[in-house]
Amino acid sequence: MWSRAISIASFASCLRIKSPMVLSCIFSGFTDVIEPFDGTLYDPCCGSGGMFIQSTDLVKAKQGDISCINVYGQEKEAATYRLAKMNLALRGISHNLGSESDSTFTNDLHKGIYFDYIMANPPFNLKGWFNENLKNDSRWTDYTTPPESNANYAWILHMLSHLKPISGVAGFLLANGALGDTDSLEIRKKLIENDKVEAIIILPRELFITTDISVTFWILNQNKKGGKYHGRQLRNREHEILFMDLRQWTENPVKGEQKKKVQLITEQIQSV
């Protein structure tokens, strides 16, 4: 999907916005890259539904029909789950967030359903996600059981298990440490051997108001063979992975912030 590299410039451009707005803008960047214009869209940790709202806003901006998108999600926290349902209902977005709030890992409310698109911003380095019932879970049958220490690779394998086998695409944020965890090395090897990784983009530090860690944007793709995609002809990208490391782009501080924050300037974005 990577004549789609031009979409990365659009993704990067949103990072110029000051830190309180960055996360919302990254959601918008997700939609520019993944282009969930029709079919099914899933977020396994949907929060209050922000990713879904950004997706449908993009469709409307392109004169599309939001009735062509069916969104699915799951949220663990009961109050946030209710807020998500209200947000989506008020905007007329068809949705299925399951019958209750619950953990995506211990009670997958959409088990057996495969989606065209997945977009997510999982909690970074989530602890306490594992119990013994998950040890031989079918979501990681073709890999190995993710480390109990944090849920980073559990999120990856969960999302991969829900992608349509021939055409599914996923985009999500993870803490940069997920790229080098020694206890998940075998899973990373298998993801590369199975040609599931389309792109990995390491974002600059200090973009976010809540953390100064470096964050990575991942794209998984079930079909890198090329062909028609939303009116464009994409080249074959089998056994290729796009890597971009933007961590050194720290020379442009945002003025007026109490904490040190940075932005990407136009020249940097154009170089992307």
Identity (one letter) of the amino acid at 18?
K
The values of phi and psi at residue 198, to 5°, are -90, -45
Rounded alpha-carbon distances, angstroms, from residue 120 to 134, 163, 271:
21, 13, 26
Largest CA distance in the chain: 51
Distance CA 163, CA 230 (A): 18
pLDDT per residue, tens digit, the chain (272 aa), is: 444 443 444 444 444 333 334 455 555 556 777 788 889 999 999 999 988 887 888 777 766 677 888 999 999 999 999 999 999 999 989 899 999 999 999 999 999 999 999 999 899 899 999 999 999 999 999 999 999 999 999 999 999 999 999 999 999 999 889 999 999 999 999 999 999 999 998 877 766 655 667 788 899 999 999 888 878 899 999 999 999 887 776 555 554 554 555 554 455 444 55
Identity (one letter) of the amino acid at 130?
F
Helix (H) or strand (E) holding 73: strand 69-73
The values of phi and psi at residue 219, to 5°, are -130, 125
**For tokens 């220490």, what's the residue?**
149
Q: b/e map of 129-150 (b: 16 or more CB within 10 Å)?
A: bbeeebeebebbeebbbbbbeb
- What letter does residue 74 receive in the DSSP assignment? -
Q: Which of 84, 81, 34 is nearest to 59 (CA)?
A: 34
**For tokens 């977020």, what's the residue?**
43
Distance CA 150, CA 85 (A): 28
Distance CA 61, CA 64 (A): 7
Cβ pair 181, 146 in contact under 8 A:
no
Paired sense of beta strands 39-43 and 117-120, if any: parallel
Whether this model's pTM surpasses 0.75: yes
| Token pair belonging to 130 | 């594992």
CA-based end-to-end distance of the chain: 16
Q: What are 93's strand-pairing partners?
A: none
Distance CA 239, CA 194 (A): 9
SS3 23: helix
Cβ pair 155, 174 in contact under 8 A:
yes
